[in-house]
Amino acid sequence: MSHLDIHAYLAEFEDIPGTRVFTAARARQGYHLNQFAMSLMKPENRERFKADERAYLDEWAISEEAKQAVLARDYNALLDIGGNIYFLSKLFSTDGIAFAQAVSTMTDMSWPEYRQMMLDGGRSPQGVRSIREGR
Amino acid sequence: MARITAGVGSSHVPLLGVAHDQGNERDDYFGPIFAGYDWTRDWEKQEKPDVVILVYNDHASAFDMKFIPTFAIGCGERYKPADEGWGPRKVPDVIGHPDLAWHIAQSLILDEFDMTIINEMDVDHGLTVPLSMMFGACEAWPTTVIPLAVNVVTYPPPSGNRCWALGEAIARAVESFPEDLNVQIWGTGGMSHQLQGARAGLINPEWDNRFLDLLEADDDAVRHIPHIEYLRETGSEGIEMVMWLIMRGALGARVKTLHRHYHVPCSNTAIGHIVLEPNT
């Protein structure tokens, strides 16, 4: 492992379908977005956010695009701009929805369909391991 | 002399904590999951560990993006359950073992593992759910705990090989502690799960069970699985399984399997659980 090429290591992550690996590049891009989400750990901040989401978001150094994605609860868009799922989960909790329900919104399934897929054993890795290799 | 007597691997899905806290352990959904821990709860009552070195990851609870330690060891006196956005779990405070923790921290650094040292933090579901799974409901946890937090959120996490080697170094550190202590080491997280994007919900029972087989094996092939394989085969959050290798590395070359359990699903996740003891 000590001679692993960092460029090759990172490049492989882009070959996984439907997945954004939380790389340093994403961590940098999403820093303030994730810190905003983290702030919702505190009950007083959750109350202030719920009372006026836009005003609360405006206190943070995050882009207008990110603010709109938060307001729309568009989790795929938030992942694209550097959001991390464990940080974004503070938003699920603030909304009082189950983690799996929030996760289902990132797929092409409804929540009941997604829940049923999990009960049936989950999503098979077949065909979604590699874009390049189509396996 | 302190000694590591057993290793435990377990998922730490937050929903298991909710099921436990709300008294739903035996319903149709959770019953088959918790049934796989009954053996371990009875066994732990016999074993009575003095200390559990609990390897877990923080999920944006104690650590945010300001500080990202790769390996951090809790040397504090006690830790409170974290408020993860819906109020803290109503479980006992976690009592540390500062004497052993500081001994391990110092030993590891001299052994060239440059640990981050934590004196104060709250502990999230990654740490408290395994305690509930192994001990059930209690007024006070029946053991002291040394939290060992691993970054598996921001890439790159440590390699499986490095995790295994850290486990070996922890075992050396424990063995050089003069007090007579029964120490267990737990590796938590996993198994296959992906919590994000269009591929969310990925579950790979074949791969997960092969991983469990490799933990039972008398060789260390499992330490060489690269990150990309965990990601492709077990989902983006399946990478948590590298933490089980710290546990396995601490048990020595050969192990004996005492108990093993696997179930799909729990929320988005495959549940895996294994109990191993050193076989010297």
pLDDT tens for each residue of B81-98: 998 877 899 999 999 999
pLDDT score, position B181: 98
Please state, rounded to an integer, the average pLDDT across all residues of chain A: 96
Distance CA B51, CA B181 (A): 7
Sort residue B178 into left (φ over 0), alpha (ψ -120 to 50) or beta.
Answer: alpha
pLDDT of B280 strictly over 90: no
Sort residue A94 into left (φ over 0), alpha (ψ -120 to 50) or beta.
Answer: alpha
Tell me, yes or no, if B193 is annotated catalytic: yes
Q: Does any domain span residue A107?
A: no
Choose the mutation target among B18, B191, B196, B211 for the interface with A, i.e. most A CBs under 10 Å: B196
CATH for A57: 1.10.700.10
- Dihedral (C-alpha) B166, B172, B174, B177: value to the nearest 10 degrees? -140
**Is A40's Cβ below 8 Å from some Cβ in B?**
yes
Q: Does any domain span residue B276?
A: no
Bridge-partner residues for B278, per DSSP? B255
Q: Tell me the mean pLDDT in the region B218-225.
A: 97
Choose the mutation target among A50, A62, A85 for the interface with B, i.e. most B CBs under 10 Å: A85
Distance CA B128, CA B125 (A): 5
Distance CA B90, CA B253 (A): 39
pLDDT score, position B136: 97
pLDDT of A89 strictly over 90: yes
Please state, rounded to an integer, the average pLDDT across all residues of chain B: 97
Determine the structural domain holding residue A50 and report its residue range.
6-95
pLDDT of A3 strictly over 90: no
Q: How far is B75 from chain A (nearest CA, A)?
A: 24
Name the residue in chain A with its Cα closest to that of B57.
Answer: A86
Contacts of B203 in chain A (CB under 8 A): 118, 121-124
Contacts of B161 in chain A (CB under 8 A): 1
Q: At A70, list the tokens.
A: 């938060």
pLDDT score, position A4: 86
Q: How far is A90 from chain B (nearest CA, A)?
A: 6
Q: Does any domain span residue A122?
A: no
Q: At A71, list the tokens.
A: 């307001």
Kindly tell me the burial class for residue A87, based on how many C-beta atoms sit within 10 Å of its own C-beta (0-12, 13-18, 19 or more): buried
Total number of domains in chain A = 1
Q: How far is A73 from chain B (nearest CA, A)?
A: 13
CATH for B152: 3.40.830.10
Q: How far is A36 from chain B (nearest CA, A)?
A: 10
Q: Tell me the mean pLDDT in the region A92-99.
A: 92
Contacts of B205 in chain A (CB under 8 A): 121
Total number of domains in chain B = 1
Q: Does any domain span residue B278?
A: no
Catalytic one of B12, B20, B103, B193: B193
- Going by pLDDT thresholds of 50, 70 and 90, the confidence category of residue A2 is low
Q: At B160, list the tokens.
A: 């499986």
Print the SS3 string covering A17-54: CCCCCCCHHHHHHCHHHHHHHHHCCCHHHHHHHHHCHH
Q: How much is the pTM?
A: 0.97
Nearest to B203 among A12, A34, A123 (CB): A123
pLDDT above 90 coverage of chain A, percent: 95
Strand order in the sheet with B78-81: B94-95, B78-81, B122-123
User: pLDDT, tens digit, for every residue of B127-179?
Assistant: 999 999 999 999 999 999 999 999 999 999 999 999 999 999 999 999 999 99
pLDDT score, position B86: 78
Q: Tell me the mean pLDDT in the region A57-64.
A: 98
What is the residue whose two structure tokens read 């290793």? B7
End-to-end CA distance of chain B: 17
Q: Does any domain span residue A55?
A: yes
Q: How far is B210 from chain A (nearest CA, A)?
A: 15
Q: Does any domain span residue A121?
A: no
Distance CA B191, CA B174 (A): 28
User: pLDDT, tens digit, for every residue of B114-126?
Assistant: 999 999 999 999 9
Phi, psi angles (nearest 5°) of residue A109 = -115, 155
User: pLDDT, tens digit, for every residue of B237-271?
Assistant: 999 999 999 999 999 999 999 999 999 999 999 99
Phi, psi angles (nearest 5°) of residue B4 = -90, 115
Contact in structure between A56 and A48 (CB atoms under 8 Å): yes
Nearest to B264 among A34, A89, A121 (CB): A121
Phi, psi angles (nearest 5°) of residue A15 = -95, 5
CB A130 to CB B194 under 8 A?
no
**Is A116's Cβ below 8 Å from some Cβ in B?**
no
Q: Does any domain span residue B222?
A: yes
Distance CA B237, CA B201 (A): 10
**Is A33's Cβ below 8 Å from some Cβ in B?**
no
Q: Tell me the mean pLDDT in the region A63-85.
A: 97
Tell me, yes or no, if B224 is annotated catalytic: no
**Is A78's Cβ below 8 Å from some Cβ in B?**
no
- Going by pLDDT thresholds of 50, 70 and 90, the confidence category of residue B191 is very high
Task: Tell me which of A1 and B224 has the higher pLDDT.
Answer: B224
- Going by pLDDT thresholds of 50, 70 and 90, the confidence category of residue A12 is very high
Q: Does any domain span residue A73?
A: yes
Q: At B279, list the tokens.
A: 């076989």
- Going by pLDDT thresholds of 50, 70 and 90, the confidence category of residue B7 is very high
Catalytic one of B125, B261, B263, B273: B125
Q: Tell me the mean pLDDT in the region B58-85.
A: 94
Q: Does any domain span residue B34?
A: yes
Q: What share of chain A is helix, strand, coil (3-state, %, to 5)?
A: 60, 0, 40
Taking alpha carbons only, the member of B52, B51, B120 closest to residue B80 is B120
